[in-house]
Amino acid sequence: MAESAPKSVPPKSKLGLRRRVVRWLARFFLLFVGAISCYALCVWGLGRIPVNRDFEHADSNGVEILLIDNGVHADLVVPLNHASFPMIRYLENGKFMVARDMFEYAIIGWGSRKFYLETETWDDLRVSTVGYALSGFDRTTVHVRLLSGLDWPTDASRQIRISPDQFARLGEHIVSSFQLNNDGKGIPIVGAHYRNDDAFFEGQGNYNLFRTCNVWVGQGLKKAGVRVGVWTVTPNALFASLPEDARRQPTP
């Protein structure tokens, strides 16, 4: 009986290369998993380590503000024309399709321009949009929606009362995120709207994995002296260290 031909054996050099590739892929995977785990741990932990621990709500002469949360994104609700910081003067060029003098408050948020302009509802969400936003390459925008009163847009809203001086510091933080023209007014993004009572403005700064819209809110609260977490990447992290007596939505 004829002997069967011996099976070909890959050269040692090819076997060595294949093993090295497998090892590098395994190391990369472990490094990736480790980085994600470390990031998630920092998000959870640093949001629960508060700064401004001695914060107390201002008295009845203070300024009422709201923090609102839609599950992914947090915004600030602030008065438009408070004497300590008249926010309305920076919004005069906004392309609102309603009269601004009908409103007393505004919902203000900062974030990725592409995400904001292309994701009006969660049905519009795309993985590519999220990835580009987190990359840090996108420009930013400030979204402003006018409100007639201090509404409670979501069940997750929290009300905080700060002093006029604290509100002025918060206002300065908000305005520092606008690009301003030579007259000191916000620069509108023409044609960008979700509805008649909102407008978009050109933003300052970069949105990325480490400075999200929720971090921006947390930074403003820290500057205003409000008790809040060290690093507030998510709404959960932002709300975790708020003052325990931050008022929830009134029960009907």
Domain assignment present for 4: no
Query: What single letter denotes the amino acid at residue 4?
Result: S
Domain assignment present for 88: yes
pLDDT digits (tens, 9 = 90+) for 34-52: 778 887 888 899 999 999 9
Instruction: Give the integer Cα–Cα distance in Å for 248 and 252.
Output: 12
Strand bridging mode 198-202 / 50-51: unpaired
Q: Centre a 10 Å sphere on the Cβ of residue 148 and count the other Cβ atoms it contains.
A: 10
Instruction: Give the integer Cα–Cα distance in Å for 185 and 178.
Output: 9
8 Å CB contact between 109 and 75: yes
Quote the pLDDT of residue 23.
Answer: 77
Region 145-168: mean pLDDT is: 88
Number of domains in the chain: 1
Domain assignment present for 235: yes
| Position 107 pLDDT exceeds 90 | yes
Quote the pLDDT of residue 7.
Answer: 57
Domain assignment present for 123: yes
Domain assignment present for 119: yes
Region 83-88: mean pLDDT is: 96
Helix (H) or strand (E) holding 162: strand 158-162
Instruction: Give the integer Cα–Cα distance in Å for 166 and 172.
Output: 10
Domain assignment present for 76: yes
Domain assignment present for 10: no
Range of the domain at 150: 50-240
Region 87-100: mean pLDDT is: 92
Region 62-73: mean pLDDT is: 89
Domain assignment present for 9: no
